[in-house]
């Protein structure tokens, strides 16, 4: 449900919408000029999805829950590690080894029993992003890598969702709001307008490589929560078309303005690891088949079993033969793949097929070959 569709009738009095416990809990919001009971009612009727329960996601989740956002989703496929505890303030030593999404859910439910919390213990990817993001009003991106940032941005553009962005490295933090519906009826610039192309792999260090001041994600994550609360409550216009930058070492700040660029419309999700040039862990264990070898085998009608892991509509538009098992359901339909003959797995570029092979190898398959370059390599 969109906050623009949520018109709360507060004229009947707060007892008709808020319990006595909620009235006590949110009393300081009720007393806040320009916010009051109506703003709180909008928070209660609103929803936010936080991508990543890490350094940024932890403080954002704490403040969104404490403020009374009615429904909060948490997406994170990682487990709590000891190195997280320096900055990921939702977790304790007793949470080590637990799924972050589930541990975060327990913590914020204990903080505010009046809200609904949904935990998704999974990695966000092109197969599940649209389904996960679709049902939330505001998306808070607390991810720590470029493929996920581009993925979240594109999904929000496609679904017309407000996106609150944050990023940290060493002593520097950034905050912005993308894809905000402006008074003109147009959407504000998105992440691609600010960063049209990802940096070269290795050009920007992540927190594990370059370190991060423990308090910095607390500051930036809280600022993300601030922007999300403004969007949901309708209190003030958020930080759209501007990038806030903070240096925690000097406490210097700056705000940069940026404009919408004119690109081809974003209409579908792509292979974001490939787009960002990120190598897949374990790829060195995958046997590659060169396009020339594949062509010669096909011309000789060799007994190779083919599996296309693209989406059905892609397969229908053109394929190299074989059966179609989309990457998102490769585990569930693995029984359709033989284990007693060579199996060539392919997609459009060779990236999704590598993801599929890694999953299948984890299930015991040892007869898989990846078609290098995929469909594109056959042109």
Q: How many CA atoms lie within 13 A of 109 on its CB side?
A: 12
pLDDT tens per residue across span 190-229: 999 999 888 766 666 666 667 888 899 999 999 999 999 9
Q: Give the model's pLDDT for residue 176.
A: 97
pLDDT at 301 over 70: no
pLDDT at 10 over 70: no
Residue 123 exposed, middle or buried by CB count within 10 Å (0-12, 13-18, 19+): exposed
Alpha-carbon distance of 174 to 154, in angstroms, equals: 19
Alpha-carbon distance of 250 to 30, in angstroms, equals: 36
Token readout for 321 is 């033969």
Cβ count near 28 (within 10 Å) = 8
Q: Give the model's pLDDT for residue 8.
A: 37
pLDDT band of residue 351 (cuts 50, 70, 90) is confident
Q: Give the model's pLDDT for residue 280.
A: 59
Bigger pLDDT: 29 vs 199: 29
Lowest mean pLDDT among 16-25, 170-179, 279-288: 279-288
Element (H, E) at 75: strand 71-75
List Cβ neighbours of 312 (8 Å cut-off, separation of 6 or more): 324, 326
Lowest mean pLDDT among 15-19, 235-239, 287-291: 15-19
pLDDT tens per residue across span 256-300: 999 998 778 888 898 887 778 666 566 667 898 888 888 887 765
Query: Which three-class secondary structure state does DSSP give residue 345?
Result: strand
Catalytic residue among 58, 156, 276, 347: 347
Token readout for 377 is 């390599």
pLDDT at 39 over 60: yes
Catalytic residue among 58, 156, 207, 276: 207
Residue 58 falls in the annotated catalytic set: no
Mean of per-residue pLDDT scores for the chain? 88
Instruction: Give the predicted TM-score (pTM) of the model.
Output: 0.73
Alpha-carbon distance of 162 to 24, in angstroms, equals: 30
pLDDT band of residue 338 (cuts 50, 70, 90) is very high
Give the sheet arrangement for strand 138-141, strand by strand: 116-120, 71-75, 47-51, 138-141, 162-169, 172-178, 242-247, 252-257
Residue 304 falls in the annotated catalytic set: no
Q: Give the model's pLDDT for residue 304.
A: 83
Q: Give the model's pLDDT for residue 221.
A: 97
């Amino acid at each position: 449900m969109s906050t623009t569709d949520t018109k709360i009738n507060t004229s009947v009095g707060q007892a008709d919408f808020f319990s006595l416990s909620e009235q006590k809990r949110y009393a300081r919001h009720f007393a806040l000029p320009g916010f009051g009971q109506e703003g709180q009612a909008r928070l209660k009727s609103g929803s936010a999805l936080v991508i990543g329960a890490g350094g940024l996601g932890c403080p954002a989740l704490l403040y969104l829950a404490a403020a009374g956002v009615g429904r909060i989703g948490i997406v994170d496929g990682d487990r709590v590690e000891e190195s997280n505890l320096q900055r990921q303030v939702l977790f304790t030593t007793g949470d080590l080894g637990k799924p972050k999404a589930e541990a975060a859910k327990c913590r914020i439910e204990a903080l505010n029993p009046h809200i609904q919390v949904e935990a998704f213990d999974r990695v966000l990817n092109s197969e599940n992003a649209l389904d996960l993001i679709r049902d939330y009003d505001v998306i808070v991106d607390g991810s720590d890598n470029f493929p996920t940032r581009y993925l979240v941005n594109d999904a929000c553009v496609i679904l017309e969702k407000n996106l609150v962005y944050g990023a940290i490295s060493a002593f520097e933090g950034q905050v912005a709001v993308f894809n905000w519906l402006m008074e003109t009826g147009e959407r504000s610039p998105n992440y691609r307008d600010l960063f049209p192309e990802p940096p070269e792999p290795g050009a920007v260090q992540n927190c594990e490589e370059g370190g991060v001041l423990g308090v910095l994600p607390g500051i930036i994550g809280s600022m993300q929560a601030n922007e999300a609360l403004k969007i949901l409550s309708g209190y003030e216009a958020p930080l759209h078309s501007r990038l806030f930058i903070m240096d925690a070492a000097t406490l210097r700040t700056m705000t940069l303005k940026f404009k919408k660029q004119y690109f081809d419309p974003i209409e579908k999700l792509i292979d974001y690891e490939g787009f960002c040039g990120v190598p897949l862990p374990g790829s060195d264990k995958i046997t590659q088949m060169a396009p020339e070898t594949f062509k010669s085998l096909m011309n000789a009608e060799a007994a190779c079993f083919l599996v296309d892991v693209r989406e059905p509509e892609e397969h229908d538009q053109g394929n190299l033969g074989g059966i179609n098992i989309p990457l998102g359901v490769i585990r569930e339909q693995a029984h359709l793949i033989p284990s007693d003959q060579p199996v060539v797995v392919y997609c459009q570029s060779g990236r999704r097929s590598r993801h599929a092979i890694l999953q299948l190898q984890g299930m015991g398959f040892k007869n898989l070959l990846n078609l290098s370059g995929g469909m594109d390599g056959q042109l």
